[in-house]
């Protein structure tokens, strides 16, 4: 029994790597960005289709799992009746359009943690409600990459929708949080900061997340209106100026970044993470082909999903939805296949 998935908003294939590690087979991908598409091709030998808005779901091979780490957009009709109409014109609408026609057994969505509060909670509410209206049982949870074997504090909302029953997030296995220093290169063309360019804290603070705030960069600071002897605080409060210790975890690699923003304290020196280290702490394999410019590579990894987290989700999706009674699962897959062929689902009105 081959469980098939599609990789929407594919980026550089974080979902693909993770779900393939769970034993699933990718049958379709879509990504609009040229540099991401080229990277995807260089690593999986498949050029993703482009703009999701131009994809006709009927041209996609049938599949069991839809995965998508889609960009977060507000829905236009805030507070009004929730439904398909509300999402029109958004990228989530395109996901729904594909779900309606293809009726996958499982939908796996990922987004930034902030989605929970986006548009005062309305965005998440619309997403969940629309999935429920398509007869899915929906559940969601905030997961952190640092619970899946990589030293990066990267929290993401994961939404799992299934035709069967609610996904039980409690069954997901987490591991002890690793430390950054065990993931670092020992030799590379490191970009160090000169001693005069930073200040270290006498008592570094260990945060609940595992981040160890160790110092800050001595960048130009705002002096106007600042109380005497508190000038350094305005540096400290600027997240990019903070220096974290390699004895803890690394902060979230940001998505809009083209130069690698964060500096770390390692063995008494302060340096930037190398691009290889960025990919490693997101769970990408050492032999991943990084063919884009350095600026694009930083952006791509900052946008990517944590691979071992997806692999663990895939393992649990398999346990909970695809392995209880093999014969029943195979029969159910056949029924869905027949229904799709007879276009039973086509009675739902969808504008293509
Ligand atoms: C948050 S990233 C997802 C990254 C991916 N999960 C990974 O692991 O690399 C969202 C992606 O959606 C892509 N995207 C945005 N609009 C799109 C559209 N209309 N059609 C297809 N892809 C789109 C962006 O280029 C970006 O790579």
CATH number of 284's domain: 3.90.120.10
The answer on pLDDT for 238 being more than 80 is no
* Claim to verify: residue 329 and residue 295 sit in the same structural domain: no
Query: What total number of domains does the chain contain?
Result: 2
Element holding 199 (H helix, E strand):
strand 198-206
Which residues, including other chains, have CB under 8 Å from residue 66's CB and lie 6 or more apart? 5, 6, 8, 95, 98, 99, 102, 104, 106, 107, 108
- What does pLDDT average to over the chain? 87
Output the pLDDT for position 122.
85
pLDDT tier at 73 (50, 70, 90 boundaries)? Answer: low
Output the pLDDT for position 185.
95
Average pLDDT value for residue range 195-201? 93
Residue nearest to atom 16 of ligand 1 (CA): 32
How many Å lie between the centroid of ligand 1 and the Cα of residue 70?
Answer: 6
Output the pLDDT for position 348.
42
Provide the total of helices (H) and of strands (E) in the chain, helices listed first. Answer: 10, 13
198 closest CA partner among 238, 242, 142, 253: 242
Residue nearest to atom 25 of ligand 1 (CA): 33
How many Å lie between the centroid of ligand 1 and the Cα of residue 77?
Answer: 24
Range(s) of the domain holding residue 287:
180-303
- In this structure, of 98-102, 201-205, 225-229, 314-318, the range with the lowest mean pLDDT score is 225-229
Output the pLDDT for position 83.
56
Q: The whole model's pTM is what?
A: 0.90
Residue nearest to atom 12 of ligand 1 (CA): 9
Rounded to the nearest 10°, the torsion over CA 130, 132, 137, 140 is: 40
Output the pLDDT for position 262.
79
145 closest CA partner among 134, 157, 127, 136: 157
How many Å lie between the centroid of ligand 1 and the Cα of residue 195?
Answer: 39
Proportion of the chain above pLDDT 70, given as a percent = 82
Output the pLDDT for position 77.
46
How many Å lie between the centroid of ligand 1 and the Cα of residue 327?
Answer: 36
Rounded distance between C-alpha atoms, residue 218 and residue 210, angstroms: 24
For a ligand 1 pocket test, name from 5, 13, 30, 31 the mutation site with the most ligand atoms within 8 angstroms of its C-beta: 31
pLDDT tier at 352 (50, 70, 90 boundaries)? Answer: very low
Element holding 332 (H helix, E strand):
helix 326-341
The answer on pLDDT for 268 being more than 50 is yes
C-beta atoms surrounding 44 within 10 Å: 19
Ligand 1, CB cutoff 6 Å, lining residues? 9-12, 14-15, 30-33, 36, 51-53, 69, 71, 91, 303-305
- The active-site residue, picked from 26, 36, 72, 278, is 72
- Is 198 a member of any domain? yes
* Claim to verify: residue 312 and residue 299 sit in the same structural domain: no
* Claim to verify: residue 284 and residue 316 sit in the same structural domain: no
CA-angle at 57, arms to 53 and 59, nearest 5°: 115
Residue nearest to atom 5 of ligand 1 (CA): 11
330 secondary structure, DSSP code: H
How many Å lie between the centroid of ligand 1 and the Cα of residue 207?
Answer: 31
* Claim to verify: residue 138 and residue 214 sit in the same structural domain: no
Would residue 36 show up in a list of annotated catalytic residues for this protein?
no
* Total residues belonging to the chain: 352
Contacts by 213-221 with C-beta closer than 8 Å and gap 24+? 213/242, 213/243, 213/244, 213/245, 214/243, 214/244, 214/245, 214/265, 215/242, 215/243, 215/265, 215/270, 216/241, 216/242, 216/243, 217/193, 217/241, 217/243, 217/263
* Claim to verify: residue 114 and residue 151 sit in the same structural domain: yes
Output the pLDDT for position 164.
81
Phi, psi of 116 (to 5 degrees): -60, -35
Output the pLDDT for position 78.
44
- State the closest ligand 1 atom to the C-alpha of 94, by its place in the atom list counted from 1: 19
For a ligand 1 pocket test, name from 56, 303, 309 the mutation site with the most ligand atoms within 8 angstroms of its C-beta: 303
The answer on pLDDT for 247 being more than 80 is yes
Residue nearest to atom 11 of ligand 1 (CA): 9
* Claim to verify: residue 31 and residue 160 sit in the same structural domain: yes
- Is 352 a member of any domain? no
How many Å lie between the centroid of ligand 1 and the Cα of residue 47?
Answer: 14
pLDDT tier at 350 (50, 70, 90 boundaries)? Answer: very low
Output the pLDDT for position 327.
64
* Claim to verify: residue 170 and residue 221 sit in the same structural domain: no
């Amino acid at each position: 029994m081959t469980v098939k998935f599609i990789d929407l908003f594919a980026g550089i294939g974080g979902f693909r790597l993770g779900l393939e590690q769970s034993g699933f087979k990718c049958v379709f991908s879509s990504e609009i960005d040229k540099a991401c598409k080229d990277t995807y091709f260089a690593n999986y030998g498949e050029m993703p289709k482009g703009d999701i808005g131009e994809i006709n779901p009927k041209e996609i091979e049938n599949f069991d799992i839809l995965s998508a780490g889609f960009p977060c957009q507000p829905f236009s009709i805030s507070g009004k009746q929730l439904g398909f109409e509300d999402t029109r014109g958004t990228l989530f609408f395109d996901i729904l359009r594909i779900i309606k026609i293809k009726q996958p057994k499982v939908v796996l969505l990922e987004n930034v943690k902030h989605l929970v509060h986006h548009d005062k909670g309305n965005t998440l509410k619309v997403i969940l409600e629309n999935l429920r209206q398509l007869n899915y049982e929906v559940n969601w949870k905030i997961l952190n990459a640092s619970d899946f074997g990589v030293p990066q504090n990267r929290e993401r909302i994961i939404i799992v929708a299934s035709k069967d029953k609610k996904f039980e997030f409690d069954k997901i296995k987490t591991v002890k949080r690793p430390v950054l220093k065990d993931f670092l290169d020992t030799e590379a063309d490191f970009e160090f900061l000169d001693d005069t360019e930073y200040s270290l804290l006498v008592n570094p603070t260990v945060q609940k997340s595992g981040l160890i705030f160790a110092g800050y960069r001595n960048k130009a600071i705002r002096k106007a209106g600042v109380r005497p002897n508190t000038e350094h605080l305005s540096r400290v409060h600027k997240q990019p100026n903070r220096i974290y210790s390699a004895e803890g975890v690394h902060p979230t690699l940001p998505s809009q970044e083209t130069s690698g923003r964060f500096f770390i304290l390692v063995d008494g020196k302060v340096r930037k993470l190398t691009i290889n280290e960025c990919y490693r702490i997101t769970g990408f394999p050492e032999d991943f082909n990084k063919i884009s410019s350095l600026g694009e590579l930083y952006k791509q990894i900052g946008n990517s999903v944590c691979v071992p987290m997806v692999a663990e989700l895939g393992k649990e999706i398999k346990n909970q939805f695809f392995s209880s009674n093999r014969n029943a699962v195979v029969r159910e897959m056949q029924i869905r296949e027949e229904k799709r062929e007879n276009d039973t689902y086509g009675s739902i009105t969808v504008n293509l």
